[in-house]
Amino acid sequence: MSAVTTPARQDTGGTSAKTLNRIVIYGMLALFALFYLMPLFVMLVTSFKTMDEIQNGNMLALPRAPTFEPWLKAWGETCVGLTCAGIKGYFWNSIKMVVPAVLISTLLGALNGYVLTKWRFRGHTLVFGLMLFACFIPFQSVLLPMATILGSLGRFGVTLQNATGLTFGLGNPTVNLVFVHVVYGLGFTTLFFRNYYEAFPTELIKAAQVDGASFFQIFRRIMLPNSMPIFVVTVIYQFTNIWNDFLFASAYAGTGDSMPMTVALNNVVNTSTGVVEYNVNMAAAMIAALPTLLVYVLAGRYFVRGLMAGAVKG
């Protein structure tokens, strides 16, 4: 009897310790989930409150009478610097900058990755190494020369406009930012595609070559149809990075109507004239965060893969 009960008792003791253990683990995990969710939660509830409720109520309380007013005001009326037309214009600025920059840098990255893995030449490692290191430089070390060059291109654009009536995009801050993001995004996009194509069977390329397929035919017919996952990863990575960029945006389009969203948001929040409308600020921040959050919700797996690929090199 005792021989049977002892292990049973031990077993129950073990399970209760185990249960306690589980409770502690789940408790900690829940606590940290709160830590990560708190700022977003506060931002969200504040954006639906009236100013009156913000000043007299509790930060964590749900809005008593949820109102969309702050969102509408942030989108269409709030003041960015001296212009009071909301952030919608700046939102579109960001879109106009992000879409071409992402597409161009991704396509170039795919071609570069294809060459660096399937059409190797002497010194390909050096070329790749140089492009890879470019991902890591602090952009402060190229900020000023780029500003100088963009400035003189802008002046050249004015001359062109006087002569031909067209600037060809020279001096346009959005075009400038597209250019800058393509140039400084190439390292990452090349890295992503190179690592992906590295594992792609070279025999297939050889076979196609024997059949007389050209460089671009192979790329279009063989590589591209098999690159969907890495395209998604790269596009998401580039989209998030470029949408969230602040340094280049403030240096090359820091004033006027062509500011991207991040710069405009910073201006809205730091505008010190009049009463600070916290609810409008929070709504503006939510609007600025929505595109990348949406991408994260829809394609979180690819987002994480991109971050990992950016972190684990070689």
Partner 1 sequence: MSTVAETSMTLTPEHDTRPSASVRSRLQDALPKIVLAPSFAATVVFVYGFILWTIYLSFTNSKTFPSYAITGPRAYQRLWRWTFESDPPSSWYTSITNMGIFGFLYIFICLALGLFLAILLDQKIRGEGVLRPIYLYPMALSFIVTGVAWKWFLDPGLGLEQTLHQWGWTSFHFDWIKNKDFVIYTVVIAGVWQASGFIMAMFLAGLRGIDGEIMKAAQIDGATTFQLYRRIVIPLLRPVFLSAFIVLAHLAIKSYDLVVALTSGGPGGSAWLPSNFMYEYTFKRNEMAVGSASAVIMLMTITAIIVPYLYSELREKPR
How big, in percent rounded to 5, are the helix, strand and coil portions of the chain?
75, 0, 20
Query: Which of 127, 160, 204, 232 lies at the binding interface for partner 1 (CB under 8 A)?
Result: 127
Q: 278: which 2 tokens?
A: 């916290």
Query: Which of 86, 157, 173, 187 lies at the binding interface for partner 1 (CB under 8 A)?
Result: 187
Cα distance between residue 242 and residue 265, in whole Å:
15
Cα distance between residue 101 and residue 14, in whole Å:
59
**Alpha-carbon distances, residue 90 vs 93, 102, 208, 273 (angstroms):** 5, 18, 47, 20
Cα distance between residue 250 and residue 181, in whole Å:
13
Torsion of CA 266, 271, 272, 275, to 10 degrees: -110
In sequence order, which residues have a C-beta less than 8 Å from that of residue 229 and are 6 or more positions away? 196, 302
CB of 269 to partner 1, least distance (A): 5
Beta bridge partners of 83: 80
Report 290-309 residues binding partner 1 (CB under 8 A): 292-293, 295-296, 300, 303-304, 307-308
Report 194-253 residues binding partner 1 (CB under 8 A): 209, 212, 214-215, 240, 243-247, 251
CB atoms within 10 A of CB 159: 12
Report 250-269 residues binding partner 1 (CB under 8 A): 251, 262, 265-266, 269
Beta bridge partners of 258: none
Instruction: Considering the complex, state which of residue 32 and residue 68 has its C-beta at the smaller distance from partner 1.
Output: 32
CB of 1 to partner 1, least distance (A): 29
Q: 51: which 2 tokens?
A: 């100013």
Query: Which of 129, 169, 201, 229 lies at the binding interface for partner 1 (CB under 8 A)?
Result: 129
Report 9-48 residues binding partner 1 (CB under 8 A): 25-26, 28-29, 32-33, 35-40, 42-43, 46
Helix (H, G, I), strand (E, B) or coil at 10: helix
Instruction: Considering the complex, state which of residue 52 and residue 165 has its C-beta at the smaller distance from partner 1.
Output: 52
CB of 164 to partner 1, least distance (A): 25
In 3D space, the residue among 175, 312, 305 whose CA is nearest the CA of residue 235 turns out to be 305
Q: Which stretch binds partner 1 (CB under 8 A): 3-11, 161-169, 170-178, 275-283?
A: 275-283
CB of 82 to partner 1, least distance (A): 19
Mask 76-115, x = binds partner 1 (CB under 8 A)? --------------------------------x--xx--x
CB of 77 to partner 1, least distance (A): 19
Instruction: Considering the complex, state which of residue 127 and residue 204 has its C-beta at the smaller distance from partner 1.
Output: 127
Instruction: Considering the complex, state which of residue 34 and residue 99 has its C-beta at the smaller distance from partner 1.
Output: 34
